[in-house]
Amino acid sequence: MKAQFKPLTKAEEEIMQILWKLQQAFVKDIVDELPEPKPHYNTVSTIIKILSDKGFVASESFGKSNRYYPLVKKDEYTKKTMKQFLKGYFEGSYANMLSFFAKEKDISIEELESILKELKNNQPKK
């Protein structure tokens, strides 16, 4: 990803989700993937231009139209976004985040045990 992380608006992120799914697309393809009520073609085109300016998207020309593809991988964006979310809402602490979900009863003991098991499995061998 570019050196400067620029968060996306909801509309930009929605377009990126489609590009990550399709891997490459013309504006028409993106509009077709969007839920009803579909935004106007020009609106989607403008959002893609903004994404390009932010360094998230590049394009290849085919005559008068462009095919767009993501420059930023979904997992890269997810990682950066989650780190900012964690910092902004949970003082950068995964423990605080898990504790929040446990208190809200949004995470079960089984899910927590599964997370612990995954963490243990990902620890370097001594």
Q: What is the pLDDT of residues 1-52, one digit of tens each?
A: 444 567 899 999 999 999 999 999 999 999 999 999 999 999 999 999 999 9
- The CATH 1.10.4040 portion of the chain extends over 75-121
**124 versus 115: which is more confidently predicted?**
115
Q: What is the pLDDT of residues 45-87, one digit of tens each?
A: 999 999 999 999 999 998 999 999 999 999 999 999 988 889 9
pTM, two decimal places? 0.77
Cβ proximity of 37 and 50 under 8 Å:
no
Q: How far is CA 64 from the centre of its chain?
A: 29
Predicted local confidence at residue 1, as pLDDT: 43
- The CATH 1.10.10.10 portion of the chain extends over 10-70
Predicted local confidence at residue 93, as pLDDT: 87
Pick the CATH number of 75-121 from 1.10.287, 1.10.4040, 1.10.3470, 3.90.1530: 1.10.4040
Predicted local confidence at residue 72, as pLDDT: 94
Return the HEC string of the chain: CCCCCCCCCHHHHHHHHHHHHHCCEEHHHHHHHCCCCCCCHHHHHHHHHHHHHCCCEEEEEECCEEEEEECCCHHHHHHHHHHHHHHHHHCCCHHHHHHHHHHCCCCCHHHHHHHHHHHHHCCCCC
- Cα(72)–Cα(19) distance, integer angstroms: 10
CATH number of 10-70: 1.10.10.10
